Structure 1
Amino acid sequence: MKTLIALLLGGVKLAKLGKIMTTGGTMLLSVVTYAWVFGWRYALGFVALLFCHEMGHYVAARQRGLKVGAPTFIPFVGAWIELKEQPMNAETEAYVGMAGPLAGTAAALACYFLARNEGSSLLLAVAYSGFFLNLFNLIPIPPLDGGRMTAVISRKVWLLGAPLLIAVFFWRPSPLLILVALLAAPQVWRALKGDDAMPPDYYASASAGTRAEYAFIYLGLVTFLAVMAHDVHEMI
């Protein structure tokens, strides 16, 4: 029995060590990669903002009792957490989706105030990246966070995300946008047809008050990030 318990505890420790190594290793890889292009100080700040964003998702998922993996980073793609079990309803999905941009915005705002206090153009650039990154993530189209947040409001909102994604692509062409479009296309097509792979009660479980609350938070966050991204860009 003691041997069995020791093996189980050893397995748990190894699992935790594996998570730490996955997150730490991919973070280090991202820092090194970004440092080659933008310099190591900016790279550290940018990856730290990504980490804050993903930890927002992680904490929210754990709060709702979902099994979730540690954050994983890929240079020039971003980062994500692996949900090992899917939310049971659209409100939970929106809650987890909302937490990332909220945490990321708070981190970018901290960089902004620190930059203004210290007169640091580097921190101001990091703050701008954070505001823009979180604003981009709020485009109402899956698999972006905006798609997860607006699903509880109405799946038809996804139809607004497609032209926004196209507009961003023409403004700043990027392979990442093509990847997002490919991932989003099936769900947007189903929304256009009024069809969905999820059961009806997945969306119907949210009350009108809950939908209104998420709509208010979503629009407020988009407005705030748009204003901050614009103003900080002008400062830079």
Structure 2
Amino acid sequence: MDGSATPADAPAPDRLDSAFQVYQVRRDGDRLLYVGDPLVPPDDVERRLWDLFRDRGYEISLQREYVPDSETTVPTHGWVLVARPLSIGVDGIPWTNVVLALLTSGSTLFVGAVRWYQIDPSNPIAILRAWPFAAAVLGVLAVHELGHYVASRYHGVDATLPYFIPFPTLIGTMGAVIRMKGRIPDRRALFDIGASGPLAGLVATVVVSAIGLQLDPLAVQQGIPDPDAVVVRFNHPLLLQAIAAATGTLGKLQSGAYHPVVFGGWVGMFITFLNLLPVGQLDGGHIVRAVVGDRQETVAAAVPAALFGLAGYVYFVRDVTDSIGIWIMWGLLATGLAYAGPATPIRDDGLGSKRRALALLTLLLGLACFTPVPFEISSP
């Protein structure tokens, strides 16, 4: 056994003897490669050795066929336990995140200016008047993703800052995501990371909605509508109606004449519902996987059928065609997510009763953000 490549801060090969027999140790850049054979079922190797490496600042993964990044030679036979130095946080200026955030701010401002404020897009200075709309939409998205990021940092899981996705849709963006680069240690971490985004985003959504409902509609919204214009009417989920009722603005909401900031709250609710679908590695998939374990895959298998059924209900019962595409698209996406499977924590112990109760509350709040027909389009 060659242990010469083992640095002083890394576990010596003989410390792994309870779960993994090491034949040699190699380096691949900053990674340590323990080449050998499992002495326990492969799924148990990481679980048994996780704390040993984590306490020394390494994250491990057991791989059958490891492809090195450098010119390191790794035997083609046997297993490789890859130990990567744990790095949590932002190293330097995240230029990709910054550039995407600026581009998304621009696309959201543009869509808000043209659609809601009816500003001539040839005047770039005037477009800035749509900043309340852009701030509302990007604010709820940012708080949602930062909720995930903070929970990841709390549990020592490496994750990126949010990546915003610019796209000239009805809201000017395709949303935002963070990328999990580290392994999730246990079900508690899986639940906290999954639930923190929707819960933080919902707090921002409630605040944005309540503020927007107190604002007067724009002057262009109160004018006589153009009979030749295409009209998009957004239907209101139960949570938005409850906020309006609590703030005494239900009549304003029902009239449809409300400030564009309210639409930022609507966006937050719609995205929260979609993210809480209990499938794959969506937030809802994380939450349900943390609560019920491997049985989450049974729940996930029913999600595509439910979404396709919802598309059929909207078409045949509600006689509305505008929202069918959304549910069919998400039914197809959910099929792929269910096939890919959920995130699997290193330690698969049970979840406490408090987190189970919070999981139920989170999923119920997600249902309060649901409306079967999110929007309807009427043409002249």
TM-score w.r.t. length of structure 2: 0.47
Instruction: Give 1:206's aligned residue.
Output: 350
In structure 2, relative to structure 1, the CA distance for the partners of 1:92 and 1:28 (3 Å cut) is same
Report which of the two has the higher share of strand.
Answer: 2
In structure 2, relative to structure 1, the CA distance for the partners of 1:65 and 1:15 (3 Å cut) is closer
CA deviations on 1:152-180 (whole Å, 9 max, x unpaired) are 11132443344434444525424565345
User: 2:273–2:369: 8 Å Cα contact kept in structure 1?
Assistant: no
Residue 45 (structure 1) aligned to one of 130, 133, 136: 136
CA deviations on 1:11-59 (whole Å, 9 max, x unpaired) are xxx9421x1x322211222233344444454344212211111100111
In structure 2, relative to structure 1, the CA distance for the partners of 1:224 and 1:183 (3 Å cut) is closer
Instruction: Give 2:325's aligned residue.
Output: 173
Aligned length: 204
Percent identity of equivalent pairs:
24
User: 1:94–1:149: 8 Å Cα contact kept in structure 2?
Assistant: yes
Instruction: Give 2:184's aligned residue.
Output: 87
In structure 2, relative to structure 1, the CA distance for the partners of 1:29 and 1:158 (3 Å cut) is farther
Instruction: Give 1:148's aligned residue.
Output: 286
In structure 2, relative to structure 1, the CA distance for the partners of 1:117 and 1:220 (3 Å cut) is same
User: Which deviates the most, 79-88 or 34-43?
Assistant: 34-43
Instruction: Give 1:220's aligned residue.
Output: 361
1:30 correspondence with 2:104: yes
1:182 correspondence with 2:343: no
Instruction: Provide the C-alpha distance between the structure 1 equivalents of 2:272 and 2:304, rounded to a whole number of angstroms.
Output: 14
1:16 correspondence with 2:100: no
The one-letter code of the counterpart of 1:137 is: N
User: 2:145–2:162: 8 Å Cα contact kept in structure 1?
Assistant: yes
In structure 2, relative to structure 1, the CA distance for the partners of 1:47 and 1:217 (3 Å cut) is same
Q: Structure with the greater relative contact order (CA < 8 A, sep ≥ 6): 1 or 2? A: 1
Unaligned runs of 5+ in 1: 1-13, 189-196
TM-score w.r.t. length of structure 1: 0.73
User: 1:56–1:104: 8 Å Cα contact kept in structure 2?
Assistant: yes
The one-letter code of the counterpart of 1:127 is: G
Unaligned runs of 5+ in 2: 1-89, 114-129, 167-172, 217-257, 312-322, 376-380
Report which of the two has the higher share of helix.
Answer: 1
User: 1:77–1:176: 8 Å Cα contact kept in structure 2?
Assistant: no
Structure whose alpha-carbon radius of gyration is higher: 2
1:101 correspondence with 2:253: no
Instruction: Provide the C-alpha distance between the structure 1 equivalents of 2:324 and 2:281, rounded to a whole number of angstroms.
Output: 19
User: Which deviates the most, 83-92 or 136-145?
Assistant: 83-92
1:117 correspondence with 2:214: yes
In structure 2, relative to structure 1, the CA distance for the partners of 1:36 and 1:184 (3 Å cut) is farther
Instruction: Provide the C-alpha distance between the structure 1 equivalents of 2:331 and 2:104, rounded to a whole number of angstroms.
Output: 19
